Structure 1
Amino acid sequence: MSQEILLQARQVTRRFGGLVANREIDADIRRGEILGLIGPNGAGKSTFFNLIAGALPPSSGTLHFEGRDVTRLPATRRCALGIARTYQVPRSFDSMTVVENVMIGSFVRHRGTAAARHAALEMLDFTGLSRQANTLTHQLTPPEKRRLEVARALATGPKLLLLDEVLTGLTPSEARQGVELIRQVRDTGVTVVMVEHVMEVVMPLVDRAIVLNLGEVLAQGAPREVVRDPAVISAYLGDRHAA
């Protein structure tokens, strides 16, 4: 796997009044990897995720994407550069068809309607939603809506894909299918960062993990190393994992 740094965060801090949600985070995202962003509730995962995506600006610190300073760029500009995301609660246009929803993403790269539709259909095929292309989005099942989120994000042509709890709430069978889809995304050359709570699903999937706790980086490294870290066991995994 390439060790080239795709996105670099240095001393990234985000304050909400007197609350420090992220404190002086240093993190590198390497091109071609699947990176897990994990930690207990309130650890600052969602805030850091939003800082990478451009939904929030950092209070201090810097973010560089492919060597370019994107610290103050809005989400739309970052999307054009190659950073796409999904949402924890799927955000679809329920009065539109599935393919029309994905076309919204493909218009980032394609000006014409025909080209945007063709690209959208390719992403629906990739994510296993081809049969639902002309279905109204409100008729999709919850797992299908999560796949729609992934398809629309991929339609923007990302280099970095941010997945916000796309495996949460799925049955074991659905989760296995989701894991396989994420691996397929990485195999196309897209770097993946995923926020998840289900350690049993995430750790076998990711190449590296960053553990946040109380807004700070608690540990980072290979999954096998992280789950054995005493600080991670104490703060997140619980004493039952100590053995």
Structure 2
Amino acid sequence: MSADPIPRQEIPQQDPILRVDHVTLRFGGLVANADICLEVRRGEILGLIGPNGAGKSTLFNLISGAYRPTSGRILFEGRDITDLPAPERCRAGIARTFQVPRSFDSMNVVENVIVGGFVRHRRAAEARTAALATLDAVGLAHRAEAVAGELTPPEKRRLEVARALATEPRLLLLDEVLTGLTPSEAKAGVELIRRVAERGVTVIMVEHVMEVVMPLVDRAVVLHLGRVLAEGPPTEVVRNDAVITAYLGERHRAA
């Protein structure tokens, strides 16, 4: 494994782990994210919510390095990573899942996670040991030798989380990992996210299942038309008139 691409420095614990500083992304005449300012505290679970097309996954792509902003800066642990390629951001400590799970379907489950483990481990045996431990943590140890293409949708989402965790991130971006699950599957997913946060990993999650995500997150940020519409404690955000009008709907106001 190559050396850390970003020189390490002591960052005070009270400083945010991530700062998105006036970030804008344009695709031609389309503004996908507009002047986004966001700070993410160490150890928190941050919910990123909003209607379809609000710019949530685009922001994830900017943070993870899939896109580079038209303007603005992104700082991770006090370091400017705006121009850092995605693989180096992963080595620096940022990992993500995708809205549509992306597994190597012809490989078995543990091999999928070993791919993530190679970010931290040079030897295959070390990466395999770490991968098996991660599968145990996410409840997939019993499927380690199964072909990834044979997993159920909830198992594939857990596999995505396992592969991301195998990179040993300090910041984990979860893109709709609870969407489409049964109530019992969603409950298990919530428990998994809480365990991840308890390990000291900061989590930003995009989610549409409001009744599940709101009791889970420490703070919520609402995006609308590519801009930050509101942010704060979940109980305050869901009572915000602008959020109700733009996202939750009048039925929520009545409730």
Same fold per TM (> 0.5)? yes
Q: Distance in 2 between matches of 1:3 and 1:137?
A: 40
1:176 aligns with 2:187: yes
1:101 aligns with 2:112: yes
Q: CA deviation at 1:145?
A: 0.5
Amino acid paired to 2:61: N
Aligned pair partner of 1:5 in 6, 16, 19: 16
Q: Distance in 2 between matches of 1:167 and 1:210?
A: 18
Aligned pair partner of 1:189 in 192, 200, 206: 200
The corresponding residue for 1:132 is 143
Q: CA deviation at 1:169?
A: 0.4
Q: Distance in 1 between matches of 2:32 and 2:148?
A: 34
1:68 aligns with 2:50: no
Work out the number of aligned pairs and report it. 242
The corresponding residue for 1:162 is 173
Partner-residue secondary structure (3-state), 1:5: coil
1:73-125 CA-to-partner distances (Å, cap 9, x unmatched) read 11101000000000111111111110000000000000001100000000000
The corresponding residue for 2:56 is 45
Q: Distance in 2 between matches of 1:3 and 1:35?
A: 16
1:34 aligns with 2:48: no
Instruction: Flag as ranges the 4+ runs of structure 1 deviating above 2 A.
Output: none
Q: CA deviation at 1:242?
A: 2.1
Partner-residue secondary structure (3-state), 1:71: coil
1:188-215 CA-to-partner distances (Å, cap 9, x unmatched) read 0000000111111111110001000001
Q: Distance in 1 between matches of 2:30 and 2:14?
A: 34
**Aligned-residue CA RMSD (Å):** 0.8
Amino acid paired to 1:151: A
Aligned pair partner of 1:228 in 239, 242, 246: 239
The corresponding residue for 2:248 is 237
Aligned pair partner of 1:88 in 86, 99, 105: 99
Partner-residue secondary structure (3-state), 1:72: coil
Identical columns (%): 71
Q: CA deviation at 1:3?
A: 4.7
TM-score by length of 1: 0.98
Q: Distance in 2 between matches of 1:49 and 1:39?
A: 14
- What residue ranges of structure 1 are gaps of 5+ in the alignment? none
The corresponding residue for 1:19 is 30
Amino acid paired to 2:103: S
- What residue ranges of structure 2 are gaps of 5+ in the alignment? 1-12
1:104-150 CA-to-partner distances (Å, cap 9, x unmatched) read 00000000011000000000000000111111111111100000000
Q: Distance in 1 between matches of 2:251 and 2:127?
A: 51
Amino acid paired to 1:181: L
Aligned pair partner of 1:118 in 121, 129, 133: 129
TM-score by length of 2: 0.94
Q: CA deviation at 1:241?
A: 2.1
Q: Distance in 2 between matches of 1:70 and 1:4?
A: 16
The corresponding residue for 2:158 is 147
